[in-house]
Amino acid sequence: MDKLIITAAICGAEVTKENNPAVPYTVDEIVREAKSAYDAGAAIIHLHVRYDDGTPTQSKERFKECVDAIKKVCPDVIMCLSTGGATGMTAEERLQPVELRPELASLDCGSCNFGGELFVNSEDMIVEFAKKMDEYGVTPEVELLDKGFLDTAMRLRRQGILKSPTHFYIGLNIPGAMGGTPRDLMFLVESLPKDCTWGVTGIGRAAFPMATMAILLGGHVRVGLEDNLYLAKGVLAKSNGELVEKVVRIAKELGREIATPAEARAILGLN
């Protein structure tokens, strides 16, 4: 079994300081949270960015400012830049960070209800995003929020638009998409192609149950304030680092070693 790659999704686009004061907005806060996660054992930072007032943005300039600042304190960390942005953003807005040529970028392979809003990813958009990532030498992290997302991804693999082997990330328990039960995760994992790497994140209360299952099944784990604000029931996480530390403790109890950024690159074929 490969060592465990931990991804930290440090701020997202929807959560706010009203939900948890540790949610970062400014460049300095984003660097603080990235470093706390990295120091705790995260090999990958999944990055959204905000303006200082908390407004989500896909501005290439803001992404570059944050990436450069993170790399000063975590020089070997792997950056996965979000092309999901926030609901309501245009495809052109969302694609901007790909031009920075990160090692990884998220590629959402379907549309779904997202709480009270609609997260739109038409097949034409998915193909456009995949081709742009290929043009810039960016490895897509294919996001699966429901079984239909995987069916679309597999069709695009057969067409040669997505390359094999593929790296998938399963996001469960989003209101409006697939649930976050062990049965839900097993159904998707058993549907994945054999020549892939995969990880999982559970939203809210599903975060640590899904992380534990991924550790046992040989997958990888994403945690962070984007996905879950709590360290335990009723206990707000003080940092992204606290959430990563909990995954590290679970992994150690279950006998799974943690991957360094260099080891994660080798596992994901990024070298």
**Long-range pairs for 133-138 at CB < 8 Å and ≥24 separation?**
133/98, 133/105, 133/107, 134/163, 136/98, 136/99, 136/101, 137/101, 138/98, 138/101, 138/102, 138/103, 138/104, 138/105
101-154: per-residue pLDDT in tens?
999 999 999 999 987 789 999 999 999 999 999 999 999 999 999 999 999 999
Alpha carbons 246 and 244: distance in angstroms, whole number? 5
User: Do 238 and 40 form a contact (C-beta atoms < 8 A)?
Assistant: no
If pLDDT is split at 50, 70 and 90, which confidence band does 256 have? very high
Q: Please compute the mean of the pLDDT values over residues 183-212 and round it to a whole number.
A: 97
**Domain extent at residue 60:** 6-268
Q: How is residue 27 written in tokens?
A: 């460049």
Look at the block and give the residue holding tokens 């109890």: 253
**Is residue 71 assigned to a domain?**
yes
Residue 177's alpha-carbon distances to 80, 174, 199, in angstroms, are: 22, 5, 17
Percent of the chain exceeding pLDDT 90 equals 96
**Is residue 160 assigned to a domain?**
yes
**Is residue 28 assigned to a domain?**
yes
User: Do 106 and 126 form a contact (C-beta atoms < 8 A)?
Assistant: no
- Give Cβ neighbours of residue 7 (< 8 Å, ≥ 6 apart): 42, 43, 44, 45, 46, 80, 169, 199, 201, 220, 221, 222, 223, 224
**Is residue 120 assigned to a domain?**
yes
**Is residue 1 assigned to a domain?**
no
Answer whether 0.75 is exceeded by the pTM.
yes
Query: What does the pLDDT read at residue 115?
Result: 76
Q: Residue 8's closest CA among 236, 261, 271?
A: 261
72-100: per-residue pLDDT in tens?
999 999 999 999 998 889 999 999 999 99
Total count of domains within the chain: 1
CATH number at residue 145: 3.20.20.70
**Is residue 152 assigned to a domain?**
yes
